[in-house]
Structure 1
Amino acid sequence: MASKIALTVEPRGKPIRGLPKEIMIDLDNSGEELHSIIAKSSGCSVHRLRITKGSDRSAVPNTKDVTIDDIGLRNSSVIHVKDLGPQIAWRTVFIIEYLGPLLIPALFLFPLRPLLYFNYDKPLPDPSDTQLLVCALLTIHFLKREYETIFVHRFSNATMPIRNIFRNSAHYWALAGFNIAYWVFRPNSAAASATPNTALVYGGVALFVFSQLANLNAHFILRDLRRPGTTERGIPSGFGFNLVTCPNYMFEILAWLGVFLVSQLNLSVLLFALVGGVQMWSWAWKKEKRYRKDFGEKYKKKRTVLLAYIC
């Protein structure tokens, strides 16, 4: 028969209306069940709750894979409950993030063109073939992102604080949308030339196509490591994973280098790739450390986590 224990519940941060001061729970109940009990008792959405142990402030995972006993909670243990505020689904966040740079290039290139470039001689020249090609590549890239968000990715966290959507979207809307579209589609940009460097165009398109397909393949590999409805992962293997920790990031950067080449080396594209690359390098190292911790000797350590033989 399961042993029941009493947990002392304390709010962390602002008070939570209806939060009980004590709950009874079985040692063989899961972390997910603890979250559900607290959510039901307090009337707060389970996605808004962060529960930590009072002893060491470590998080109590919202999962069915670990029990209260595994977590180390005992009779009279203290748990802290924090209200994370209004939440939004991660899938929705990504859809909104990518929607801006999906629509902005075509808007800048066509209906908004006369307004954006009002200080250039009239009539404005029609967009060049290279500018049209860059617009097509940007559209393809972010359509692929939306497809992966809806049909491929499985998210370890269901939601995030809704206030963060503005910060997250700024990177894509400003740097990938407004920044690239404005500078590449200017009437006097290098991409506007009727005689672009064809080696850059063909080389850039080839690199873009290869990288997009390789990136998609990496995302399918990562998706298949996680069973639906769980956060459990296996050790990833396959094309690119023998070289770096996160080949999906590597191929993402290579795809943007392809756009950079096609744009005739427009620095706005390079700026976006560099800013994104620094962030992805940080994420990749965190993932490498987590793989080493979670899988131990079973995991073959990587010396380069983002770009093969470089970093």
Structure 2
Amino acid sequence: MAPAKITLTVEPRGKPIRKLPKEVEISLNGSGEELHIALSEATGTSIHRLRITKGSDRTVVPNSNGTTIKDTGLRDASVIHVKDLGPQIAWRTVFIIEYLGPLVIPALFLFPLRPFLYFNFSQPLADPSSLQQLTCLLLTIHFLKREFETIFVHRFSAATMPAHNIFKNSAHYWALAGFNISYWVFRPDAGAATETPNAALTYVGLALFAFGELANLNAHMVLRNLRRPGTTERGIPSGFGFSLVTCPNYFFEIMAWTGVFLVSQLSWSVLLFIAVGGAQMWAWAAKKERRYRKEFGDKYKKKKCVILPGLC
């Protein structure tokens, strides 16, 4: 017996969508992805620009092959609202652009742009100190790793985001990690400009940076392996760090940046980046903890601390 088909009433939400049909027929066993494809083909609009919600309660009909129309609660003659989200950009591209700024800015500030940035200091300018060059190297390693993970490690639950958000998303990294840290740490009078740095700060900082980067990469590999390629399925992460906090990847990220802070001889500009980024990561981690508890129930071992062990 063929699966029952239903007819949904289609209404635009927001600005009108060209060629949007007034009705669409689909099988109850059809997926949310199939519904998105049908409306995308009818309108000539990218599937990633369409947001479909139920008219009854405004809940989203997911663009997922794992959710059937029956699962969503839609029935014959149900109303769905379709919104055009506007031009989209791939999440992978977003991250590549975000990290590109702080990847190249430190070396530019330290070498070719140095005479132009610090023209008001006594001339001729002293060459960058060994510690300033080391700090630049740590920044470069960190963001090269980020780019590597973006291209080869991360699997994204959402394919795209609104294109105009790229400027907002990039501002944090380009401004705070790129311009802010580079300008202040590489100044001729910065703490890192010394040729006799505090050895304890330097070596402890290097150890924290190396451990934090490697542990962070390991956590990202654990999260990657929870999701099969091409799917948006979720799982409960386990492994090094995950028994302590919800998001050990954020914990190790902060650890690595603390290492940069120490190597820079306690530059306030690095501390500012850690504080702003840490606050945002805490919000993301708290949201993920709530989602884990809701999605997995008793199967999930609840965490009191979402990022820093002992600091909840």
Instruction: Find the residue that maps to 1:80 and give its secondary structure.
Output: strand
1:157 maps to 2:161: no
Q: Distance in 2 between matches of 1:285 and 1:190?
A: 35
CA distance in 1, matches of 2:234, 2:214: 23
Q: Distance in 2 between matches of 1:275 and 1:69?
A: 43
Alpha-carbon distance between aligned partners in 2 of 1:100 and 1:264, rounded to the nearest angstrom:
23
Q: What residue number does 2:188 align with?
A: 187
The DSSP-based 3-state class of the residue aligned with 1:199 is: helix
The C-alpha deviation readout for 1:203-237, integer Å capped at 9, x for no partner, is: 00000000000000000000000011001011100
Q: Distance in 1 between matches of 2:232 and 2:6?
A: 27
Amino acid at match of 1:195: T
Using the TM superposition, give the Cα deviation of residue 84 of structure 1 relative to its aligned residue in structure 2, in angstroms: 0.5
Is 1:242 matched with 2:243?
yes
1:69 Cα deviation after fit: 0.5
Counterparts of 2:132 and 2:299, CA distance in 1: 48
Q: Partners in 1 of 2:269 and 2:91 — Cα distance?
A: 28
In the alignment, does 2:142 pair up with 1:145? Answer: no
2:55 is aligned with 1:54: yes
Paired positions, count = 311
SS in structure 1 of the partner of residue 83 of structure 2:
strand
Shift of 1:24: 0.7
Q: What root-mean-square deviation, in Å, do the aligned CA atoms of Structure 1 and Structure 2 show?
A: 0.5
Structure 2 partner of 1:125: 126
Which 4+ residue blocks in structure 1 deviate beyond 3 angstroms? none
Q: Which runs of 5+ in 1 are unaligned?
A: none
The 5 Å alignment of 1:29-108 reads 29-108=30-109
Instruction: Report the Cα distance in structure 1 between the residues aligned to 2:69 and 2:93, rounded to whole angstroms.
Output: 32
1:198 maps onto 2:199 in alignment: yes
Q: Distance in 2 between matches of 1:49 and 1:76?
A: 20
Following superposition, the deviation at residue 274 of structure 1 comes to 0.5
User: Residue type matched to 2:268 in 1?
Assistant: L
Task: Give the structure 1 partner of residue 225 of structure 2.
Answer: 224
Tell me which residue corresponds to 2:277.
Answer: 276
Once the two structures are superposed, residues 81-108 of structure 1 have per-residue CA deviations (whole angstroms, 9 ceiling, x without a partner) of: 0100001110010000000000000000
Q: 2:18 and 2:3 mapped to 1: Cα distance?
A: 30
SS in structure 1 of the partner of residue 225 of structure 2: helix
Identical counterparts, % of pairs: 74
CA distance in 1, matches of 2:205, 2:11: 57
Q: TM-score, normalised by structure 1?
A: 0.99
SS of the equivalent of 1:225 reads coil
The CA deviation string for residues 146-167 of structure 1, in whole angstroms up to 9 with x for no partner, is 0000000000011111000000
Q: d(CA) in 2 for partners of 1:3 and 1:191?
A: 71
Q: Distance in 2 between matches of 1:43 and 1:298?
A: 43
Separation of aligned partners in 1, 2:13 and 2:296:
33
Structure 2 counterpart SS, 1:118 = coil
Residue 84 of structure 2 aligns to which amino acid in structure 1? D
Q: Which amino acid aligns with 1:308?
A: P
| CA distance in 1 between partners of 2:67 and 2:126 (Å) | 64
User: Separation in 2 of the partners of 1:72 and 1:297?
Assistant: 26
Aligned to 1:172: 173
1:66 Cα deviation from its structure 2 partner = 1.1
Q: Give the drift of 1:129.
A: 0.6
1:270 maps to amino acid: L
| One-letter amino acid of the structure 2 residue matched with residue 82 of structure 1 | K
Residue by residue over 1:52-87, the C-alpha shift from the partner in whole angstroms, topping out at 9 and shown as x without a partner, is: 001110100110111100100001101000100001
Deviation at 1:309, TM superposition (A): 0.9
Q: 1:284: Cα distance to partner?
A: 0.2
Say whether 1:259 aligns with 2:291. no
Q: Which residue of 2 aligns with 1:291?
A: 292
The normalised TM-score by structure 2 is 0.99
Cα deviation for residue 10 of structure 1 reads: 0.6
> Which sections of structure 2, spanning at least 5 residues, go unmatched?
none
